[in-house]
Every structure is written in structure tokens, then in C-alpha cells.
Amino acid sequence: MISEEVKDYIDKSVLCWLATCNKELIPNVSPKEIFTSINNTTLLIANIASHNSIKNIQENPNVCVSFVDIFVQKGYKLKGIATIIASQDHGFALKLKPLTNLFTDKFPIQSVIEVEITQVDPIEAPSYFLFPNTTEESQVIGAMKTYKVQKT
């Protein structure tokens, strides 16, 4: 499921976007900044202040997580089943460790969202299929102009 290429996108992404839906099918999308994959089927996301996401997962565990390189304009969409691992749950420390290893343990991580991945789909900007000569390099140049970013 989570190939090396997908893992590379996860590792280099600054944010991922977690989409959830409650039992009334009202969607919620929330950015997350502390996340990692621990094997080829499992993604861990830190819950720091995600009350809506947690409530939705408790009502409906189906989620979608996306990672996009905004310069290359490619990424991946991962669908799966989420479980909330609370701080008092057995195994919490084991699931927390890969997240705190990435950053710090100073963030108040309330729980860990564990996602068992069931589907992986690529995300690409339409220009890749609308204009066959589009390259990742041309996308980066265009994005840097659009976002007014300069190389240092």
C-alpha cells in the first residue's frame, strides 16, 4: 500500500490534510503537522487540538489523508479506517514514540490517530495530462513564480 514513493511524499510533506465525516455525513478537513507511516499499511497522526476530527472518527472511522508537494503539484491520497488511541490506552506510548521522534514531545498530543490504509491514489495537477510536455521542473518554476518564492 504505502510504497517507497508514497513514503517519500509523507516524509517531505510539511502538512497532511485529514478529511473526516460525521454520522450526518457533514465533512471536515483539517491540516495536521505531526504524522508518519510506521509500515506499509499504517499511518499515525498526532491529535493536538482536533476535536472535530476526533468526534467524526468516533462516529465514522472512514478517513482520507492527502499529501501534496505544492511545487511539483503531485502527491497522494490515502483512504483508510481510523482508530483513536487515547493517552490512557494500552499501546499509546508505542504509537506516540514515532511521532515525538520526528519533532518533540513538547506538543500536547492528546491522542494518536492510527489509520489503516485501504487505498492509495496519486494526485496530479491537470497540466500533467492536459499538456503532455509538462515536467516536474516546469511545474516547480511555475509554482515558484505563482507563489512568489525565490531559491536561497
CB burial class (10 A; 0-12, 13-18, 19+) of residue 108? Answer: exposed
- Asked if 62 and 27 touch (Cβ cutoff 8 Å), the reply is no
In a domain, 46, yes or no: yes
Cell numbers representing residue 78 in the block? 490515502
Domain count, the chain: 1
DSSP 3-state assignment of 24? coil
pLDDT-derived band at 29 (thresholds 50, 70, 90) equals very high
In a domain, 78, yes or no: yes
In what helix (H) or strand (E) does residue 5 lie, and over which residues does it extend?
helix 4-12
Mean of all residue pLDDT scores within the chain: 92
14, 81, 23, 95: CA torsion to nearest 10: -60
CA atoms within 13 A on the CB side of 65: 31
What CATH number has the domain bearing residue 108? Answer: 2.30.110.10
In a domain, 136, yes or no: no
Q: What is the pLDDT of residues 85-132, one digit of tens each?
A: 999 999 999 999 999 888 766 778 999 999 999 999 999 999 999 998
In a domain, 133, yes or no: no
In a domain, 134, yes or no: no
User: Residue 147 and residue 119: Cα distance in Å, rounded?
Assistant: 31
Domain that holds residue 74: 4-125
Average the pLDDT over 31-41 and give the result: 95
Torsional class of 25: left (φ above 0), alpha (ψ -120 to 50), beta (otherwise): left
User: What pLDDT, on a 0 to 100 scale, did the predictor assign at position 43?
Assistant: 98
Average the pLDDT over 10-34 and give the result: 94
DSSP for 65-86?
EEEEETTTTEEEEEEEEEEEEE
Query: What's the pTM?
Result: 0.90
